[in-house]
């Protein structure tokens, strides 16, 4: 008698090249096997997964949970609840909290807070430099020992190239990736939207694409020289995509991520949605969107991450210039990825890979697969159900999304966390 049988779904485990109708067996909090539909053993509980995708628990390696210091926007507990609602069983939390996560004590505190919330696993990303100031490296060994999975000053670029080089070397020492927020501030020129026709029409200061691509070029060169693991956050331009493609072809250990807003929206959305479409990097051109999609399809971009960046409605109401950068994404990422699948841009396995094994490899964590003995983190997806994005229904404490009212198809109907079912929309499919 096993604990849980997930019956007859389309099991997608890209880490092992698996895509077939099967049962998933779970016992003692771990996956015990993926077996043919005629081999079902007796189980204490069962989920009828006919018509559903059964995937490894989704991983979002780029979220901002705002605790400590910004609890009016999000807490670790509300962020973890939003994650699970969106189908994510693991999230990696950026260090730009207040105080900054540049201290092993705080890293341990975040882990304890997340464990108390008991929902998605929250993996802390520690700061590269003290206070995100770009000057003095943090203690990578102590932060790694405290549980940091990667290092990033996300939100701020590391402008000094010798500091970035030292960071990559330190990351290599502790076998952790450095995650780059690629933005050359001397080129970004204080822009708040992409430098182009929309910025001109609206009379807003523009941030040119080369502010990103010049920094991606620098960081790829440094990673190659140091032999370190580099991950590029929120890639948004065709030029930066081409640099990453060439670096990977040359054998540089670089992974890269795209956020849903950068593969579904272009700068025109700023004209319609105002500050709700303000984020950094900004929404770009249609050609950039096409390049990001092509890079997801060919594996140049191997990670999809939300860059979930909660902000209070009052802050977003300050208008384009004064509103903070950022949009939430934990509860909209999956349907927006599925738009690419429904449109034939990505196949199901590539889409799921970018949400599971891709981020697991970029972070170097043992997750993102349904292999035997893996911790039983599972996401059950109805790929077809039609719904309309309604921010008032979000578990997140914030509502700042440009996708309100968008008609989408597909959602996470449930997740398993170490075999424990967190049920959102299973109804009669779940028997105990
Ligand atoms: O849009 C963004 N929001 N970009 C960043 O780099 C930081 C983030 C935030 O923390 O709000
Ligand atoms: Zn971010």
What is the domain-level CATH number for residue 102?
A: 3.20.20.140
Q: For ligand 1, is residue 216 a contact (CB within 6 Å)?
A: no
Q: Residue 47: which CATH number?
A: 2.30.40.10
Q: Are residues 29 and 77 in the same domain?
A: no
Q: Are residues 408 and 322 in the same domain?
A: no
Which of 328, 363, 398 lies at the terminal end of a domain, its last residue?
A: 363
The pocket of ion ligand 2, defined by CB under 5 A, consists of: 154, 307
pLDDT, tens digit, 9 for 90 and up, residues 43-101: 999 999 999 999 999 999 999 999 999 999 999 999 999 999 999 999 999 999 999 99
Residue 40: per-residue pLDDT: 87
Q: If residue 81 lies in a helix (H) or strand (E), which one and from where to where? A: helix 76-85
Inside any domain, residue 369: no
Inside any domain, residue 50: yes
Q: Are residues 87 and 23 in the same domain?
A: no
Ligand that lies nearest to the alpha carbon of residue 182, given by its number in the listed order: 1
Inside any domain, residue 370: no
The H helix count followed by the E strand count for the chain is 15, 19
Q: Ligand 2: distance of its center to the CA of 430 in Å?
A: 36
Q: Which residues pair with 304 in a beta bridge?
A: 258
Catalytic site residue from 307, 314, 377, 390 = 307
Q: Are residues 110 and 203 in the same domain?
A: yes
Query: Which residues in 300-314 are b (16+ Cβ under 10 Å) and which e?
Result: bbbbbbbbbbbbbee
Q: Ligand 2: distance of its center to the CA of 326 in Å?
A: 8
Q: Which atom of ligand 1 is nearest to the CA of 326?
A: 1
Ligand that lies nearest to the alpha carbon of residue 125, given by its number in the listed order: 2
Residues in the chain: 432
Q: Are residues 202 and 257 in the same domain?
A: yes
- And the tokens for 239? 């030029």
Inside any domain, residue 310: yes
Q: For ligand 1, is residue 236 a contact (CB within 6 Å)?
A: no
Inside any domain, residue 142: yes
Which of 363, 390, 407 lies at the terminal end of a domain, its last residue?
A: 363
Q: Are residues 297 and 403 in the same domain?
A: no
pLDDT band, residue 37 (cuts 50/70/90)? confident
Residue 424: per-residue pLDDT: 81
Sign of the Cα torsion 310, 313, 314, 318 reads positive
pLDDT, tens digit, 9 for 90 and up, residues 206-265: 999 999 999 999 999 999 999 999 999 999 999 999 999 999 999 999 999 999 999 999
Q: Are residues 343 and 413 in the same domain?
A: no
Q: Are residues 339 and 224 in the same domain?
A: yes
CA neighbours closer than 13 Å in the CB half-sphere of residue 259: 31
Domain hosting 403: range is 2-54+375-431
Inside any domain, residue 230: yes
Q: Are residues 281 and 189 in the same domain?
A: yes
Q: Ligand 2: distance of its center to the CA of 63 in Å?
A: 6
Spatial distance between the Cα atoms of 73 and 346, rounded to a whole number of angstroms: 33
Spatial distance between the Cα atoms of 308 and 287, rounded to a whole number of angstroms: 24
Q: Are residues 103 and 124 in the same domain?
A: yes
Contact assessment for residue 253 and residue 231, using Cβ atoms and an 8 Å cutoff: no
pLDDT, tens digit, 9 for 90 and up, residues 373-432: 999 999 999 999 999 999 999 999 999 999 999 999 999 999 999 999 998 899 899 998
pLDDT for 199 beyond 90 = yes
Q: Are residues 284 and 403 in the same domain?
A: no
Q: How many domains does the chain have?
A: 2
For ligand 1, atom 7: residue with the closest CA: 155
User: SS3 letters for 172-209?
Assistant: HHCCCCEEECCCCHHHHCCCCEECCHHHHHHCCCEECC
Which of 363, 389, 408 lies at the terminal end of a domain, its last residue?
A: 363
Active site residue 307: yes
Inside any domain, residue 173: yes
End-to-end CA distance of the chain: 13
Which of 100, 101, 154, 397 gets mutated to test ligand 1 (max ligand atoms within 8 A of its CB)? 154
Inside any domain, residue 126: yes
pLDDT, tens digit, 9 for 90 and up, residues 273-307: 999 999 999 999 999 999 999 999 999 999 999 99
pLDDT, tens digit, 9 for 90 and up, residues 141-196: 999 999 999 999 999 999 999 999 999 999 999 999 999 999 999 999 999 999 99
Q: For ligand 1, is residue 179 a contact (CB within 6 Å)?
A: no
Q: Are residues 49 and 67 in the same domain?
A: no
pLDDT for 322 beyond 90 = yes
């Amino acid at each position: 008698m096993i604990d849980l049988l997930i019956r007859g779904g389309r099991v997608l485990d890209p880490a092992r090249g698996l895509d077939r109708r099967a049962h998933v067996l779970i016992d003692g909090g771990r996956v015990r096997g993926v077996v043919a539909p005629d081999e079902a053993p007796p189980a204490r509980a069962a989920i009828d997964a006919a018509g559903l995708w059964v995937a490894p628990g989704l991983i979002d390696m780029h979220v901002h949970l705002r605790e400590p210091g910004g609890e009016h926007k999000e807490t670790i507990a509300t962020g973890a609840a939003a994650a699970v609602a969106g189908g994510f069983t693991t999230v990696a939390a950026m260090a730009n909290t207040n105080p900054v996560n540049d201290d092993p004590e705080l890293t341990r505190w975040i882990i304890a807070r997340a464990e108390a919330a008991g929902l998605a696993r929250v993996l802390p990303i520690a700061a590269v430099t003290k206070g995100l100031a770009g000057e003095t490296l943090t203690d990578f060994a102590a932060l790694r020992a405290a549980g940091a999975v990667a290092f990033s000053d996300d939100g701020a670029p590391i402008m000094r190239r010798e500091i970035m080089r030292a960071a990559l070397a330190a990351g290599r020492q502790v076998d952790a990736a450095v995650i780059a927020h690629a933005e050359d501030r001397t080129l970004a020129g204080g822009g708040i939207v992409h430098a182009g026709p929309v910025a001109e029409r609206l009379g807003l200061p523009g941030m040119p694409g080369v502010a990103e691509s010049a920094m991606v070029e620098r960081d790829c060169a440094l990673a190659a020289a140091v032999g370190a693991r580099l991950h590029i956050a929120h890639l948004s331009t065709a030029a930066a995509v081409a640099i990453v493609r060439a670096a990977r072809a040359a054998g540089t250990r670089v992974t890269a991520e795209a956020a849903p807003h950068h593969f579904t929206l272009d700068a025109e959305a700023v004209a319609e949605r105002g500050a709700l479409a303000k984020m950094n990097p900004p929404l770009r051109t249609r050609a950039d969107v096409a390049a990001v999609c092509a890079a997801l399809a060919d594996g140049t971009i191997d990670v999809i991450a939300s860059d979930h960046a909660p902000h209070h409605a009052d802050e977003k109401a300050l208008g384009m210039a004064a509103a903070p950068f950022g949009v939430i994404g934990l509860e909209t990422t999956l349907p927006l990825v599925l738009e690419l699948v429904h449109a034939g841009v990505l196949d199901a396995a590539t889409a799921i890979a970018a949400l599971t094994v891709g981020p697991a490899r970029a972070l170097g964590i043992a997750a993102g697969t349904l292999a035997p003995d893996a911790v039983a983190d599972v996401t059950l997806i109805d790929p077809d159900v039609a719904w309309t994005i309604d921010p008032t229904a979000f578990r997140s404490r914030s509502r700042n999304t440009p996708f309100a009212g968008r008609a989408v198809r597909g959602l996470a109907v449930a997740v398993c966390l170490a075999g424990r079912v967190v049920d959102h929309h299973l109804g009669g499919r779940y028997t105990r």
